[in-house]
């Protein structure tokens, strides 16, 4: 589940939240959207209500708005043509958002844009917001979906916003100099989902090495192919939506490798419970350097040992996770990890994850919003 959804679900316990869903395009409606996703065609087209409310916990409700379909724009190479189409899409979004705000009685909102700075630029100042915030959780210059125009729009948006919140130390370093106020709020873990499930004993098929998350361009597939090939006695299991279908087809030819696709959020802990080792086999590049991986705390919350590539600064996990940069290095570390998987180590991992809950992250996020708002209110008097 995306960090934005998890944070807003926590913030909804103390604030009213209107969550504007991913802006689907006519292409999504016709072709079905991204791999592993389900497109809500009826609300997009207005056949079903676009504004709904969802109970995300016993004490929190989030209002969810589905926007009307956008015209696809990211394929356009020219800045002027892209921006003209962006302005048209933004008018559709603005009309829907204002209607939802009126229905809910929202005035002068805190406007948080989550990693869509192009739309953020187009809507900035048009919602009578008291605070404009950019939530940046990836390196946009390496994001394929907006690679042509993302960096240009992000630079402009960073200079407009009252506050930028980033999810990793690398993003703090990269974005901080270009924005008025920048705060780090790292990703967390849903303890209620992952710590209420007990790990399973090793089953008849033997050791299971697992990965939880999207199977996409971040993964080092050459490393994985070598690793799986070298260890026919281990079962490798991947749980998450498949984006890189060609790479997955190559791995799926190996008998000890299985892909289980997207699963319900409430079922994820059950899969992790069967892992003897949790993998984070990311490539080391510009895209991954800005990531603080959700899955590392999800593995740790269940006491599962973690082996990760050194794709970013993971020094804070040095006591509870292992690093390897090649298939051979992974092969050497795995037996050591399995031998060291003691009851004390399990509890150490769980305790570490407990300090990284989404509840605590939401408190940090809320504090950053409050401080930025107070600073903005005081500015005229300075």
State pLDDT tens for residues 191-222.
988 987 778 766 656 899 999 999 999 999 99
Which DSSP string do the residues of 210-277 spell out, in sequence order? EEES-BSTTB-HHHHHHHHHH-TTSEEEEES-B--HHHHHHHHTSTTEEE-----GGGHHHHHTT-SE
Q: What is the mean pLDDT of the chain?
A: 93
Which residues are CB-neighbours of 177 under 8 A, at least 6 positions away? none
Which residues are CB-neighbours of 215 under 8 A, at least 6 positions away? 238, 240, 241, 242, 243, 244, 247, 248, 259
3-188+359-381 under CATH 3.40.50.2000, yes or no:
yes
d(CA 61, CA 53): 7
Number of H-type helices and E-type strands within the chain: 16, 13
Indicate the pTM of the whole model: 0.92
Nearest of 294, 300, 245 to residue 272 by alpha carbon: 300
CB 172 within 8 A of CB 182: yes
| pLDDT score for 382 | 44
CA atoms within 13 A on the CB side of 271: 24
| pLDDT score for 36 | 53
- The pLDDT tens digits of the residues spanning 319-367 come to 999 999 999 999 999 999 999 999 999 999 999 999 999 999 999 999 9
Instruction: Provide the CATH topology of domain 191-356.
Output: Rossmann fold (3.40.50)
In which residue are the tokens 């989902």 written? 193
Count CB atoms within 10 A of the CB of residue 167: 25
- The pLDDT tens digits of the residues spanning 151-170 come to 999 999 999 999 999 999 99
- The pLDDT tens digits of the residues spanning 56-89 come to 888 899 999 999 999 999 999 999 999 999 999 9
What are the sequence ranges of the domains in the chain?
A: 3-188+359-381, 191-356
């Amino acid at each position: 589940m995306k960090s934005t959804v998890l944070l807003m679900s926590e913030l909804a316990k103390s604030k009213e939240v209107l969550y504007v869903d991913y802006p689907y395009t006519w292409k999504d409606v016709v072709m079905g959207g991204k791999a592993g996703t389900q497109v809500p065609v009826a609300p997009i087209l207005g056949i079903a209500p676009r504004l709904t409310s969802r109970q995300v916990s016993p004490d929190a409700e989030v209002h969810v708005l589905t926007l009307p379909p956008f015209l696809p724009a990211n394929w356009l190479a020219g800045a002027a043509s892209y921006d003209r189409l962006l302005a048209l899409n933004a008018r559709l979004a603005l009309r829907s958002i204002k209607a939802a705000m009126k229905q809910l009685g929202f005035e002068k909102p805190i406007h948080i844009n989550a990693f869509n700075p192009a739309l953020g630029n187009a809507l900035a100042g048009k919602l009578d917001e008291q605070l404009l915030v950019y939530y940046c959780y990836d390196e946009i210059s390496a994001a394929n979906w907006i690679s042509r125009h993302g960096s240009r729009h992000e630079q402009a948006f960073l200079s407009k916003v009252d506050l930028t919140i980033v999810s990793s130390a690398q993003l703090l370093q990269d974005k901080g100099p270009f924005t008025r106020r920048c705060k780090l709020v790292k990703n967390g873990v849903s303890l209620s989902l992952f710590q209420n499930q007990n790990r399973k004993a090793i089953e008849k098929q033997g050791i299971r090495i697992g990965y939880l998350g999207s199977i996409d361009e971040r993964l080092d597939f050459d490393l994985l192919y070598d690793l799986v090939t070298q260890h026919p006695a281990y079962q490798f299991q991947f749980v998450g939506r498949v984006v890189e279908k060609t790479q997955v087809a190559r791995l799926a030819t190996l008998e000890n490798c299985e892909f289980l696709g997207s699963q319900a959020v409430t079922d994820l802990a059950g899969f992790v419970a069967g892992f003897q080792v949790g993998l984070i086999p990311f490539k080391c590049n510009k895209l991954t350097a800005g990531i603080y991986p959700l899955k590392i705390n999800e593995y740790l919350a269940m006491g599962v040992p973690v082996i990760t590539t050194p794709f970013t600064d993971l020094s804070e996990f040095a006591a509870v996770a292992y690093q390897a940069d090649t298939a051979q290095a992974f092969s050497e570390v795995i037996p050591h990890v399995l031998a060291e998987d003691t009851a004390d180590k399990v509890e150490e991992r769980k305790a570490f994850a407990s300090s990284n809950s989404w509840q605590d992250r939401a408190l940090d996020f809320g504090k950053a919003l409050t401080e930025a708002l107070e600073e903005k209110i005081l500015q005229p008097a300075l």
